[in-house]
A and B are shown apart, each in its own frame.
Chain A
Amino acid sequence: MRDLDRDVRTLLQSMAEEAGSLEGLPRGIWRRSMVRRGATIVGAAAVTIALLVGGSMALGSMSKRDGGFDPGPLPPSNTSNDRPKPEDMKGRLIAKGRVDDVDWWLTAYVDHEQDICSELAMERSEGSAGGDMSPGFRWVGMGGGGCGPFDPEKHPVGLTVTSGDGFSTASGDVPDHVERVELVLEGGDRIEAQLYDAPDGFEHPVRFYVILPFPKSEARAVVAYDGDGTEIGRQQIMGPGDQAETRTVAGPFQIDEGEHRGVPYTFEGSVDRQDTPSGDIWFYPCSMFHLGEGERYGGGGGCHMPIARNHEMSFSQNSFEQKPEIVSIHGGMTGRVDRVTVELDSGEVVEAEEFDVEGSDFRFFLAFADGGTTGRISGQVVGYRGSEEVERLDLCDPDFATLGSSCGP
């Protein structure tokens, strides 16, 4: 760890100690919190009434997210559906039920990126006495959701797991020819999931499953089988100690700064290390590009994880709303690549500038393409060793690489 890192940590620690602690609940806080809660409940009731008066029978749209009090994107959960849900989308009811005096709903939809989003919501049943000792009390409020790609070949099992006090719930989607989904526990015991067909007209051929509270420390995987009992796919469940840990091990480096078409830019990089649950250790470079004085035109980048998975290079592509003529293509590469070019479909070939960075075994590159008035470019990024072509990657699909966006392979 560098000196500045250590000193910042020490300073923050000493400031935190100097701040001390807060004592008990201050007078007035309880009352103010109840006033706010009352307003929330009234707001929720109003929305529900409006739906009923409108004659809507779409129970899915009566999920808690429509109560007008969504707390925002989900906090991190252990999930393969790892993109937070767009908050403007509505779910369709897939299934609902009641266990241990707790009502649950599973809703799902396909978002504008054609990903499947699903959410498991739960709340205590109306009129339930409940109590600390009732079984449902310990898991009411659990549940969650997320979005993931529909990819029956590579990722047949979509999975969202949320965990509470000793228990977890799991839900997700599987291809529609799946006939059985099981939760595999440590030691080999299995719990069969409840499986539900997608509603008529659902955009992807999938079914959904729900596994209600199970001991979180014992769950190891969700496995899907077809009618012949053939395993279609499985998704590992990570325990709290199994989560992949990522940290920056070199940098961030200021790799380059300069001007392109009279506009200043900065180019930064770092090297990250990820310790995977399976025990593998991955290293990969990350690169960030920003355009304009004080980054006024934006920019971005990312970590080039493909390099940790048998690729020799990877890139990010940035376009800029206020500077459509400038498109930056930057990334990292292994020592096997010594030259990078951007070969545009127009026939133009742009040589990238390559950089060695002290403290990094990876090398970095930066190239600029002419985006004209639209910022749309198409072509490929090609890595060479001498005259040998090592890797060729398509630039981002111009329909998705819209102005002001960052993308990568």
Chain B
Amino acid sequence: MEAIGVASARREPMKERGRVADLYLAHASAAFRVAYLITGDRALAEDLTHEAFIKVVGRFQDLRDRAAFQAYFRRAVVNLAHSHFRRARLERDYLRAETVSARPSVEELPEPRDDLRQALLGLPVRQRAAIVLRFYEDLSEYQTADAMGTSPEAVKALVSRGMKSLRKQVTYEGRSTGGRSS
């Protein structure tokens, strides 16, 4: 980890601006990629990343562990993505009721490259987030749970259900599930 300090905004505004820019350069792209993997939508991922950055850097002075900026940033991205899809689902349900076509959901994103990609983007957002954090970010169950604001057991269940769903949806060789013997 790397400790990060920020001087008083009133005393050294230019310096702090430089530090905010440094923080952005150091962490935004990684957070953006996580947002993209969860949302499957580049513009949306960029918006969520910017929003998350503003949220976290806005209270940077007050973070108990500033060295963990990336962890807070990642958590904000995951939370915002979750909130976005919850809102989008409500909006979509409403618009559907009004017989108006809503904004395409991730399930309806055009041109999936292959079955697995389509299946991944079709998973519930929390399962997708858990899989992204475990398989792309290589976080432990504990770290994933921290990023998602849930328990390691819940992460294990989310990943398990997500992978099971992927396996069901994608024609797969080497299928491997437990056998029951008694």
Q: Could you list which residues of chain A lie within 8 angstroms of chain B, going by C-beta atoms?
A: 2-5, 7-9, 11-13, 15-16, 19-22, 24-26, 29-30, 32-37, 39-40, 44, 64, 67, 69-77, 119, 121, 130-132, 137-145, 162-167, 245-246, 248, 251-256, 268-270, 286, 288, 290, 300-302, 353-360, 406
Q: Looking across the interface, which residue of chain A has its beta carbon closest to that of B27?
A: A22
Given the contacts A33-B57, A130-B7, A254-B177, A141 and B67 also touching, CB distance less than 8 Å: yes
Our pick among A19, A140, A254, A357 for the contact of B42 (Cβ within 8 Å) is A19
- Which residues of the partner chain B approach A268 to less than 8 Å between Cβ atoms? 157, 160
Contact A141 B66 (CB under 8 A): yes
User: Contacts A8-B116, A11-B120, A22-B49 known; A355 to B157 CB distance under 8 Å?
Assistant: no
**Secondary structure at chain B's binding surface: helix, strand, loop or mixed?**
helix
CB distance from A74 to the nearest CB of B (A): 6
In the bound complex, how far is the Cα of B106 from the Cα of A82, in angstroms? 37
Interface size on B, residues (CB 8 A): 75
Q: Which residues of B contact A253 (CB under 8 A)?
A: 177-178
A355 and B33 in contact (CB under 8 A), knowing A141-B63, A300-B153? no
* B residues adjacent to A (C-beta < 8 A): 1-5, 7, 9, 17, 20-21, 24-25, 28-29, 32-33, 36-37, 40, 42, 45-46, 49-50, 53-55, 57-68, 71-72, 75, 116-117, 120, 131-132, 135-136, 140-143, 146, 149, 153, 156-157, 159-160, 163-164, 166-167, 170, 172-174, 176-182
| Majority SS at the chain A contact face | mixed
B1 adjacent to A7 (CB under 8 Å): no
Whether A141 and B33, one on each chain, are in contact in the complex, defined by CB atoms closer than 8 angstroms, is no
Additional pairs, 9, CB under 8 Å, beyond known A141-B64, A256-B180, A269-B178: A3-B172, A25-B20, A29-B50, A36-B55, A74-B64, A252-B163, A254-B178, A354-B182, A356-B182
| A320–chain B nearest beta-carbon distance, Å | 15
Chain A's closest residue to B141 (CB) is A246
Task: Give Cα A142–Cα B3 distance, bound, in whole angstroms.
Answer: 8
- Report the minimal beta-carbon distance from A313 to chain B, rounded to whole angstroms: 16
Identify the closest chain A residue to B147 (Cβ): A75
- A20 → B minimal CB distance (Å): 8
Tell me if A8 and B75 are in contact (CB < 8 A): no
CB distance from A131 to the nearest CB of B (A): 8
B180, A37: Cβ atoms closer than 8 Å: no
Question: Which residue in B36, B179, B181 is a CB contact (below 8 Å) of A16?
Answer: B36
Contact, CB under 8 Å: A36 / B65: no
Q: How far is the CA of A45 from the CA of B131 in the complex (A)?
A: 41
The 8 closest A-B pairs by CB, nearest first: A253-B178, A36-B58, A164-B3, A165-B3, A141-B66, A19-B36, A21-B29, A356-B181
Query: Which of A19, A34, A143, A356 neighbours the largest number of chain B CB atoms within 10 Å of its CB?
Result: A19
In the bound assembly, the distance between CA atoms of A256 and B75 in angstroms comes to 34
For A141, list chain B residues within 8 Å (CB): 3-5, 63-67
A213 to chain B, nearest CB (A): 10
B35 shortest CB reach to chain A, Å: 9
B28: chain A residues within 8 A (beta carbon)? 22
Nearest-CB residue, chain A, relative to B55: A36
Could you give 9 example pairs across A and B, Cβ below 8 Å?
A11-B116, A13-B136, A29-B20, A64-B62, A73-B146, A75-B146, A252-B156, A270-B160, A288-B157
- Chain B residue at minimum C-beta to C-beta distance from A269: B178
Partner of A3, one of B136, B141, B149, B173: B173
* Of A71, A131, A302, A360, most B-chain CB atoms within 10 Å: A71
Pair A40/B32 contact, Cβ less than 8 Å: no
Q: Which of B45, B58, B75, B136 has the most CB of A within 10 A?
A: B58
Once bound together, how far apart are the Cα atoms of A9 and B163, in whole Å? 12
Return chain A residues, CB-CB under 8 Å to B180: 255-256, 355-357
- Other-chain residue from A29, A34, A77 in contact with B24 (beta carbon distance below 8 A): A29
Tell whether, in the assembled complex, residue B136 and residue A355 are in contact, meaning their CB atoms are under 8 Å apart.
Answer: no
Q: Across the interface, do B176 and A359 meet the contact criterion of CB distance under 8 Å? A: yes
**Nearest Cβ in chain A — how far from B140, in angstroms?**
6
Contact A288 B160, beta carbon cutoff 8 Å: yes
